Structure 1
Amino acid sequence: MRRDYRDWLRSQGYDDGTINNQLYRVARVEEHYGELDGHYDSDRMETLIEQLTYSTEDQRRGRPNPSKLPFIGNVRNNLASYKSAVLWYRRFRGSGTVAPSSTSPSQPSTASPLLAAAAASESWPPRRTEPKALEPRVGPRTLVDFRLDGHTALEAIIASSQYRTVAQAVASLSLFSHPQTVRQTGGKALFPAIRNPRRVGQIDEHEGRRVLLDDNKSPTDAFLWANGLNRRGRDTQFNHVYAASLDADAYTALPNICMTPAFIAKLTDTSDEVCRLLRYRSYQLYQWVPAGHTPPERPEEYEALEWAAPLLPVEDVRSTMVGAMARKPKNRTVVAARELGWLFG
């Protein structure tokens, strides 16, 4: 473990308690697998990460700990914490941070990784306590400090929160329909609609069928009404898992829609990492992909994330939607459904 890793973690906004915990986990991994830098130089830690992976299916089948790490307690939770520490170290190595020059290059260190981490720590052994709340910075950083990069600014803000990473924020704050709710729709589109913001509200023929030309209203209505929600929360947005805006079979299909806070919504369009996470989450819940797509691969960090539970199941989706639509006779989606038909009518 490079000695400048502590400084890099601090630059990400972590407090000393969290940093010590990260150093401890990295040191434990190195104690049983050797230095992480060697694994990074070999295959960017792919083999090591695979050995620290323990899926929900592994847990369900009661499979034993596949790693060399000894511990007591829940296998999945323990390995997830060590795997997360390894992924963070890989991110550090991939950040381009230059290794500090050694004061004695001809004298390789003979200290064990655990002792090396202890020497680098200001408080050893690390306290096994919950991370302390971050103290406000003196002189808040401006967008100029982030080199006018909004994504980097968002990462820094999230790093100082309980979520710590963008991936975990997405996992915690994205809401999907319950599989039981989706099962009643067969994964099909609820309304015949596609995206065409220049001709919103018009009806035209598309690929041999008449459809509503819409913005994001019909997918939003589909998600709200099917899930028995009578309103959207403030500063929330409904996002497509797949950018299939001209696919009438996917545009208002529940497996293709999730709800997030508005500040995360932009990432569902611009971040490949976020798109991969959401697509695999949808596939895990519903085993669904749009026509022409293959099942997504599981992102490497997926198992280390804690995902929010889906919304509560709706017992009778058809009746719930009929009731919601009856209360909104002038709604654009309802008017089009009367003319074009919809999944249940």
Structure 2
Amino acid sequence: MVTWRPGGEMCPVCRGEGRGSISYPAAICRDCETRLVDWDGRPVDIANTSLIGTGIQVANGEEVVDGDTPIFVDGIACWAREARFGGVVVQPVAGWLSPPFPVATESQRKTLAEFEYDGRAVLDFLIAASPWGSIDQAIASLSVFAHPDVVAATGHRAIFRTVRGRMADRGSIIDGVMVDDNASPAAAFEWSTGLKRGTTRDLTCCHLYASSSDPDAYTDLRNIFYAPSFIAKLTDSQAGSLPVMHALHALRYRAFALHGYCGPGSTARPLKPEHYDSLEWADPVGADATASGLEAKLRARLADKPKDRITKSVAHCGWVFSGGQPDRLVVYSGRL
């Protein structure tokens, strides 16, 4: 999270010594200023446009950057502005939009056309003006992972023997695996961790790695996280390799940091984003779980849903608590 102190004693980026300015308490330190880059990662130069220290220009070596376009340090969006008595001051966007600094006037409110009809640019702009300050910090704060305790209780294995398939095939069993939709990974996560999505809105069950056809990964808690739907959209990718700036890198490294997870069948450590260590992550859910306690809890859930597809998969295909063999203790009374 982007935070600062009223007297400017702390740099909001590196948490080192700040500028000590009461007028600009969120001003970043000089060292952080030297690391500012534009959208494409190119270093920027900031200077006044007059000899008396007025006016301001931000350039990336090739062109002048628009004053309302954020510049970045460690993934945190900032604006450079002319200081009240001359010179330049750089603060996170959230700092400029916090009292006593005024929010944009009606004439300054951007339209979609001014963002060149780029929806992602709009989201980046809004997040930059929030306390999170960057997309990666918003993802870190708003994403929910399973706790190592509950992952250990599953033996670090997928809970159900399911894969994702066509709607027409859902419920079918092929080679000992049931075809399903997103219900089984969602149930695996929610039942195991205690997350109650039924009392919430606009949350999405997401996968870190494309695994919809892999029963050993599709309901593996290490491969699943929850996030608000608008964040989940940024993390969706079926690509085998990702661009360096893709949001999934931070999430995949979070799973590695929590569980040592490198993806289905992989031992290659995921890419660690350059500013990962500065991110503040939400606490994982499902602490203090034990294998026996988790099994009892999940069996109770299955007993309450005798006609559910997930119950069918356990009874006929098996699950983590039956060694992957059909579980004769689970009763399914729905359609075969």
User: Under a length normalisation based on structure 1, what TM-score does the superposition of the two structures give?
Assistant: 0.65
Of structures 1 and 2, the one with the larger relative CO (CA 8 A, separation 6+) is 1
Residue of structure 1 in register with 2:251 after alignment: 278
Pairwise CA distance, 1:319:
1.4
Please list, as runs of the form range in 1=range in 2, the aligned pairs for 1:1-345 lying within 5 A after superposition.
20=24, 23-25=27-29, 27-28=30-31, 36=34, 86=35, 89-91=36-38, 94=41, 120-122=82-84, 131=95, 132-133=98-99, 135=103, 137-138=105-106, 140-205=109-174, 209-232=175-198, 233-270=200-237, 272=243, 273-289=246-262, 290-292=264-266, 294-313=268-287, 314-315=289-290, 316-345=293-322
Distance in 1, matches of 2:269 and 2:114, equals 40
Looking at secondary structure, tell me which structure has more strand per residue: 2
SS at match of 2:38: helix
Alignment RMSD: 3.4
Distance in 1, matches of 2:135 and 2:299, equals 38
SS at match of 1:258: strand
Compared with structure 1, are the counterparts of its residues 297 and 291 closer, same or farther at alpha carbon in structure 2 (3 Å cutoff)? same
Compared with structure 1, are the counterparts of its residues 145 and 18 closer, same or farther at alpha carbon in structure 2 (3 Å cutoff)? farther
Check conservation: 2:37, 2:44, Cα contact below 8 A: no
The amino acid that maps onto 2:306 is P
Percent of pairs with identical residues: 33
Check conservation: 2:194, 2:285, Cα contact below 8 A: no
Pairwise CA distance, 1:202:
3.2
SS at match of 2:37: helix
Check conservation: 1:204, 1:210, Cα contact below 8 A: yes
Pairwise CA distance, 1:343:
1.0
Consecutive unaligned residues of structure 2, counting only runs of 5 or more, are 1-20, 52-79, 323-336
Check conservation: 1:177, 1:311, Cα contact below 8 A: yes
Compared with structure 1, are the counterparts of its residues 29 and 226 closer, same or farther at alpha carbon in structure 2 (3 Å cutoff)? closer
Check conservation: 1:228, 1:321, Cα contact below 8 A: no
The amino acid that maps onto 1:94 is G
Q: Deviations over 1:31-83 (max 9, x none)?
A: xxxxx3xxxxxxxxxxxxxxxxxxxxxxxxxxxxxxxxxxxxxxxxxxxxxxx
Compared with structure 1, are the counterparts of its residues 145 and 331 closer, same or farther at alpha carbon in structure 2 (3 Å cutoff)? farther
Compared with structure 1, are the counterparts of its residues 93 and 20 closer, same or farther at alpha carbon in structure 2 (3 Å cutoff)? farther
SS at match of 1:90: coil
The amino acid that maps onto 1:215 is D
SS at match of 2:191: helix
Compared with structure 1, are the counterparts of its residues 200 and 138 closer, same or farther at alpha carbon in structure 2 (3 Å cutoff)? farther
Consecutive unaligned residues of structure 1, counting only runs of 5 or more, are 1-16, 31-35, 37-85, 105-117
The amino acid that maps onto 1:217 is A
Distance in 2, matches of 1:328 and 1:317, equals 17
Pairwise CA distance, 1:226:
0.8
Distance in 2, matches of 1:148 and 1:228, equals 40
Pairwise CA distance, 1:178:
0.7
Residue of structure 2 in register with 1:5 after alignment: none
Pairwise CA distance, 1:198:
3.8
Looking at secondary structure, tell me which structure has more helix per residue: 1
Distance in 1, matches of 2:275 and 2:22, equals 19
Pairwise CA distance, 1:92:
5.9
The amino acid that maps onto 2:38 is R
The amino acid that maps onto 1:250 is A
Compared with structure 1, are the counterparts of its residues 95 and 21 closer, same or farther at alpha carbon in structure 2 (3 Å cutoff)? farther
Compared with structure 1, are the counterparts of its residues 24 and 297 closer, same or farther at alpha carbon in structure 2 (3 Å cutoff)? closer
Pairwise CA distance, 1:295:
1.6
The amino acid that maps onto 1:256 is N
Pairwise CA distance, 1:304:
0.9
Compared with structure 1, are the counterparts of its residues 261 and 200 closer, same or farther at alpha carbon in structure 2 (3 Å cutoff)? farther
Pairwise CA distance, 1:136:
5.2
Residue of structure 1 in register with 2:330 after alignment: none
Distance in 2, matches of 1:236 and 1:280, equals 21
